[in-house]
C-alpha cells in the first residue's frame, strides 16, 4: 500500500545542506501497525511528514495505493491530507474553545457536519472512554484524555493512514500505555494503517513492522545502493 522508493530530503541551512533522508526505500502493507524508530535527528519525523504529503522529498517516489504523492499538485496533496490521512501529534493540538466532540469534528467543519458524522464522533469518543466528557473543553481534560480526543479526531474521517509523531511524548508512562492500548484496539478493528514515530520501544509487539532509521536510511542499508526492489535489510517484520 505504501512504497517509499529512493527518497531523499535535503534541507538548506545557510551554506550547509543537511540530508535528512538519503535514498530511503521501504514498504508498508495496508493495515499494518508500523513503528519508525532510531536516534534523534535520524530522519524519523521527516519520513512521517513525507508520508502525509506535508512536505515534498527532494528526490524519489512515495506511492500510496499506487498514487505518487510527489507528482500530485498542491490541491491534490491538500485533498489527500484532508481525506486520507489522520494526524496525531505529541502536543495534542486541540482547539481550546471547542468541546471534545467539536474537536473530533474539526475535519468536517469547513463543509458542515452531518448527523452521521456527529454520531461517528460520539461513537469514537465513547470507544476511547470519553463518552461522559463529550462537552468538556480541552482545559477540563487531562493530557491523556486530550490525546484520546486527538486519536478520535484522527480516525473520524476513516482515513487510509494515521500518522502519529511521538503520541505519548508528553504523557506519563501509565497514560502512555493506555494510549497505545487504545490505538492498537482501534487499529485492529479497522483496516487503517498506523505509522508511529517513537523513542519508546516498549509498545512494539512481534506482529508490528519496525522501520529502524539511522542517518536518513534504514539501518543496514548504508552499505548498499538504495534499490527500488528487494527487501531492505533494515525492515524487520516478525510474522
Ligand atoms: N526544516 C528543516 N530545516 C533544516 N534542517 C532540518 C529541518 N527539519 C529537519 N532538519 C534536520 O534533518 C535531520 C532529521 O530531522 P528529523 O526531525 O526528521 O529527525 P528525527 O529522527 O525525527 O529526530 P527526533 O527524534 O529528535 O525528533 C536533522 O538533522 C534535522 O536537524
DSSP string computed for 149-184? HHHHHHHTT--SEEEEESTTTTS-HHHHHHHHHHHH
ipTM beyond 0.90?
Answer: yes
pLDDT of 219 above 60: yes
Position 237 confidence tier, pLDDT thresholds 50, 70, 90: very low
Position 189 confidence tier, pLDDT thresholds 50, 70, 90: confident
Probe residue for ligand 1, chosen from 9, 11, 19, 52 as the CB with the greatest number of ligand atoms within 8 Å: 11
Atom of ligand 1 nearest to the CA of 43: 18
Q: Which residues contact 195 (CB under 8 A, 6 or more apart)?
A: 28, 34, 35, 36, 48, 51, 161, 162, 163, 164
Position 232 confidence tier, pLDDT thresholds 50, 70, 90: very low
Domain annotation for the chain: domains and CATH numbers: 2-91+146-237 (3.40.50.300)
- Predicted TM-score (pTM) of the model is 0.90
pLDDT of 222 above 80: no
Distance between Cα 52 and ligand 1 center (Å): 16
Residue matched to cell numbers 517484520: 237
pLDDT digits (tens, 9 = 90+) for 103-120: 999 999 888 999 999 999
Mean pLDDT of the chain: 90
Amino acid at each position: 500500500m505504501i512504497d517509499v522508493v529512493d527518497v531523499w530530503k535535503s534541507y538548506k541551512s545557510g551554506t550547509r545542506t543537511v540530508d535528512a533522508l538519503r535514498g530511503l526505500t521501504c514498504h508498508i502493507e495496508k493495515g499494518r501497525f508500523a513503528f519508525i524508530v532510531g536516534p534523534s535527528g535520524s530522519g524519523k519525523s521527516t519520513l512521517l511528514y513525507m508520508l502525509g504529503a506535508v512536505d515534498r522529498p527532494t528526490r524519489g517516489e512515495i506511492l500510496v495505493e499506487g498514487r505518487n504523492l510527489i507528482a500530485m499538485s498542491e490541491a491534490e496533496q491538500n485533498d489527500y491530507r484532508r481525506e486520507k490521512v489522520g494526524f496525531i501529534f505529541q502536543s495534542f493540538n486541540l482547539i481550546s474553545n471547542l468541546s471534545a466532540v467539536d474537536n473530533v469534528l474539526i475535519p468536517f467543519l469547513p463543509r458542515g457536519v452531518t448527523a452521521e458524522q456527529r454520531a461517528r464522533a460520539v461513537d469514537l469518543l465513547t470507544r476511547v472512554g470519553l463518552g461522559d466528557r463529550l462537552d468538556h473543553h480541552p482545559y477540563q481534560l487531562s493530557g491523556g484524555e486530550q490525546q484520546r480526543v486527538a486519536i478520535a479526531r484522527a480516525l473520524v474521517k476513516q482515513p487510509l493512514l494515521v500518522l502519529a509523531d511521538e503520541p505519548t511524548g508528553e504523557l506519563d508512562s501509565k497514560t502512555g500505555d493506555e494510549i497505545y492500548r487504545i490505538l492498537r484496539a482501534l487499529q485492529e478493528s479497522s483496516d487503517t494503517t498506523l505509522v508511529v514515530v517513537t523513542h519508546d520501544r516498549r509498545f512494539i509487539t512481534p506482529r508490528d513492522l519496525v522501520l529502524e532509521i539511522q542517518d536518513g536510511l534504514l539501518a543496514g542499508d548504508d552499505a548498499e545502493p538504495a534499490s527500488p526492489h528487494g527487501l531492505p535489510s533494515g525492515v524487520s517484520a516478525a510474522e
